[in-house]
Amino acid sequence: MLNLNAFLVGLLFGLGLIISGMTDPSKVIGFLDLAGAWDPSLAFVMAGAILIGAIAFTIAKKRQRSLLGAPMRLSSATELDKGLLIGSLAFGIGWGLSGFCPGPAVVSAAAGQPKAWIFVAAMLAGMALYGMLERRGK
């Protein structure tokens, strides 16, 4: 059941990204372009998602286990550390340069966009590189 639900959630998430317009990098850059012809419509994506999410997470926070009995894995970290801020800064620069964040890039790659494949390959290389450096640092 957990694995079936993972597939269903991935599917719904992907459909939400396509319907919302998040899979079009030029639209994402239009949303980030405050000084140009700003397109605020993508703010509604986050608003819609958080509206539902806030209800679900309020319930989830009170539980030790999920409705299917899996352990509730919510982060307990609270510190605003260097990694969080520098990492988010780097991510935001990459997002602004390309118009891709991880979810939409995966969906666009699956839809057969060659440029999305290039982005996803580089993103996976970046994740692997971070993993190697982190292990070396330990």
Within positions 6 to 65, which residues make up the interface with another protein, using CB under 8 A? 6-26, 29, 32-36, 39-57, 59-61, 65
Report residue 77 as tokens: 């970290």
138 binds another protein (CB under 8 A): no
Paired residues of 71 in beta bridges: 65
80 binds another protein (CB under 8 A): yes
Contact 65, 51 (CB under 8 A): no
- Which one of residues 62, 73, 136, 138 is an interface residue with another protein (CB under 8 A)? 73
Ordered DSSP codes for 92-138: HHHHHHHS--HHHHHHHHHTT-HHHHHHHHHHHHHHHHHHHHHHHH-
137 binds another protein (CB under 8 A): no
- Taking the complex as a whole, the smallest distance from the CB of residue 136 to another protein amounts, in Å, to 14
Binding mask 88-117 for another protein (x = CB under 8 A): xxxxxxxxxxxxxxxx-xxxxxxx-x-xx-
